[in-house]
């Protein structure tokens, strides 16, 4: 945008949402500096420091709300653009905030994040234009004859007292005609309340019948008891056209993304059915050779056929996990109260054969709470964590897994509902701290397939699934000391502790 530094104040409790916002802004603006605010003390400190070019705030904060942020920012710097995140059900709230001076709002969803950079750019352009108007007003007397912005003085009833030539040109009035009464009521309509200065974007009909978008900046003054309006009028048609073009491009981009998603769905279907069908045929025929012609096959042929079967099984698992990972990235998951006890029961039922084979011991501590999530996604997540827990143990060691949940503490009392952390703890081989982040990436494997078979996608699915639910994941582990995986989600009800 500019070669100079662009300073943004970002206020949001959710680290994932802050990361997504910074990612979108960084793609649009060079020399971007973002200060992240997560508590009231940080916000109050930021207000006393250097001014920011723009403020982005979530509405729902654990220490307040976006309207309070808006009021405090505007009270200190009325022309500082403020953009607010809202959820899809907050239309009335967004309208209220716009009336209070909000520059724009963006719905908090993956598809809407693309609007954030455009909203910031438009707000900054509007702010810069408004500052230009104020500067021109201060230099009115010396620059009146040279300005391309209309300047006028009129009574509150609409009687024109004086104006410059640019004002008449904007409204399409012949300078040679004597104009005393303004035919444009919107130019002298006073705002409600005690405001003495206001700005409006207006679509005015010019004297020749054409329409023009203008930015009106007006001040209410008085002279010998008569109320007067001193105003500046700026043609913003080009900016409006640019804004409309931007909206058109956003709609076009959205349509392209939707089309791409549909193509990806079609591709996933093709992979799931067209690719897996010949794979199953290959596995079935190789298995038939082993079962129907055991005497005719040489030891080498028997080994080759067995490799075909096992390799086909591995490829089939890989395809299924890739499809699961891809679907999680595209799916819109309805969030609702989910009983973690039911989730664990379903995951353990799917794992029954592996548990018996490994002679694993699973201990579930107490009754698990209810969280906000998506049932099948949480079943997949817990299935993957439990599967890893019983797989990654030293040779000859009986897998022992403990599952428990805890209410997390908060540094502020304003957060009514605390998050729930679900732990899956094992007695396995452990993970070096340097690899704690690496293991959650796609195709990251710390061990060879000979010792610990797998695809390297399981924990990536865990991370993507939990983050799609607005939560977070992590691990505490060291080599030889077992692992303690955790996932954190919002509780469905307030803690009764």
3-state SS class at 77:
coil
Q: Tell me, yes or no, whether 298 and 342 share the same domain.
A: no
pLDDT score, position 495: 52
List pLDDT tens digits, range 383-427.
Answer: 889 988 988 888 888 999 999 999 887 544 445 557 899 999 999
For residue 51, tell me if it sits in a domain. Answer: yes
Assign 455 a pLDDT band (cuts: 50, 70, 90): low
Task: Give the domain-ending residue among 235, 251, 284.
Answer: 235
What does the mean pLDDT of the chain come to? 81
Q: Tell me, yes or no, whether 166 and 100 share the same domain.
A: no
Q: Residue 39: is its pLDDT beyond 90?
A: yes
Q: Which of 16-25, 362-371, 448-457 is predicted with the least confidence, judged by mean pLDDT? A: 448-457
Q: Are 211 and 189 in contact (CB under 8 A)?
A: no
> Which of these, 53, 74, 56, 49, lies nearest to 12 by C-alpha position?
56
- Structural domain that includes position 32: 6-114
For residue 433, what is the domain's CATH number?
Answer: 3.30.565.10
Q: Tell me, yes or no, whether 349 and 293 share the same domain.
A: no
Domain count, the chain: 4
The encoded tokens of residue 83 equal 């953009």
Assign 345 a pLDDT band (cuts: 50, 70, 90): very high
Q: Residue 3: is its pLDDT beyond 60?
A: no
User: What do you get for the CA distance between the two ends of the chain, in Å?
Assistant: 51
> 456 or 132: which carries more pLDDT confidence?
132
Q: Tell me, yes or no, whether 451 and 478 share the same domain.
A: yes
Mean pLDDT of all residues in 317-326: 64
Mean pLDDT of all residues in 160-166: 82
CA distance 348 to 357: 13
For residue 91, tell me if it sits in a domain. Answer: yes
For residue 204, what is the domain's CATH number?
Answer: 3.30.450.20
> 287 or 177: which carries more pLDDT confidence?
287
Mean pLDDT of all residues in 166-176: 79
Mean pLDDT of all residues in 312-339: 70
Task: Give the domain-ending residue among 277, 306, 330.
Answer: 330
Q: Are 35 and 8 in contact (CB under 8 A)?
A: yes
Q: Residue 87: is its pLDDT beyond 70?
A: yes
pLDDT score, position 344: 94
Q: Tell me, yes or no, whether 22 and 87 share the same domain.
A: yes
> 282 or 428: which carries more pLDDT confidence?
428
Q: Tell me, yes or no, whether 103 and 190 share the same domain.
A: no
Stated as kind and residue range, the H or E segment containing 320 is: helix 299-330
Q: Are 37 and 46 in contact (CB under 8 A)?
A: yes
Percent of the chain with pLDDT over 70: 79
Q: Tell me, yes or no, whether 210 and 297 share the same domain.
A: no
For residue 21, what is the domain's CATH number?
Answer: 3.40.50.2300
Q: Tell me, yes or no, whether 32 and 64 share the same domain.
A: yes
Q: Residue 1: is its pLDDT beyond 50?
A: no
pLDDT score, position 412: 47
Assign 90 a pLDDT band (cuts: 50, 70, 90): low
């Amino acid at each position: 945008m500019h070669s100079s530094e662009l300073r943004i104040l970002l206020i949001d409790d959710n680290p994932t949402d802050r990361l997504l916002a910074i990612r979108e802004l960084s793609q649009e603006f060079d020399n971007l500096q973002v200060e992240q605010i997560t508590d009231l003390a940080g916000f109050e400190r930021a207000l006393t420091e250097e001014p920011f070019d723009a403020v982005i705030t979530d509405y729902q904060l654990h220490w307040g709300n976006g309207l309070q942020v808006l009021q405090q920012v505007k009270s200190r710097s009325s022309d500082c653009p403020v953009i607010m995140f809202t959820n899809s059900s907050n239309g009335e709230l967004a309208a209220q905030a716009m009336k209070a001076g909000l520059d724009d709002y963006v719905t908090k969803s993956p598809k809407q994040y693309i609007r954030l950079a455009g909203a910031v750019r438009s707000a900054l352009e509007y702010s810069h234009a408004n500052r230009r108007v104020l500067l021109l007003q201060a230099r009115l007397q010396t620059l009146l004859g040279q300005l391309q912005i209309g300047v006028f003085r009129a009574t509150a009833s609409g009687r024109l007292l004086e104006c410059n030539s640019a004002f008449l040109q904007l409204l399409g009035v012949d300078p040679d005609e004597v104009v005393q009464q303004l035919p444009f009521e919107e130019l002298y309509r006073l705002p409600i309340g005690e405001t003495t200065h206001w700005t409006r974007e207006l679509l005015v009909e010019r004297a020749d019948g054409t329409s023009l978008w203008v930015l009106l900046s007006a001040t209410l003054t008085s002279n010998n008891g008569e109320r007067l309006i001193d105003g500046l009028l700026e043609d913003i048609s080009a900016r409006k056209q640019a804004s409309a073009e931007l909206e058109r491009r956003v709609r076009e981009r959205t349509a392209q993304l939707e089309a791409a998603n549909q193509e990806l769905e079609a591709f996933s279907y093709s992979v799931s059915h067209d690719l897996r069908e010949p794979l199953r045929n290959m596995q079935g025929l190789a298995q038939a050779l082993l079962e129907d012609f055991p005497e005719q096959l040489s030891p080498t042929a028997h080994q080759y056929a067995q490799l075909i079967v096992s390799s086909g099984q591995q490829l089939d698992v890989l395809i299924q996990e890739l499809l699961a990972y891809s679907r999680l990235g595209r799916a819109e998951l309805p969030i609702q109260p989910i009983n973690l006890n039911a989730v664990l029961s379903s995951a353990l039922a799917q794992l029954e054969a592996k548990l018996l084979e490994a002679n694993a011991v699973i201990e579930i501590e107490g009754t698990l709470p209810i969280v906000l999530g998506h049932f099948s996604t949480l079943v997949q997540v817990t299935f993957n964590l439990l599967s890893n827990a019983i797989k990654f143990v030293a040779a000859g060691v009986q897998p022992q897994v403990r599952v428990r949940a805890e209410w997390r503490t908060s540094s502020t009392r304003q957060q009514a509902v605390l998050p729930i952390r679900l732990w899956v703890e094992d007695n396995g081989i452990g993970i070096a701290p340097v690899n704690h982040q690496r293991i959650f990436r796609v195709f990251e494997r710390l061990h060879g397939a000979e010792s610990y078979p797998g695809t390297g996608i399981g924990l990536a699915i865990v991370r993507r699934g939990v983050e799609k639910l607005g939560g977070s994941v992590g691990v505490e582990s060291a080599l030889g000391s077992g692992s303690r995986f955790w996932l954190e989600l919002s509780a469905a009800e307030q803690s009764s502790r």
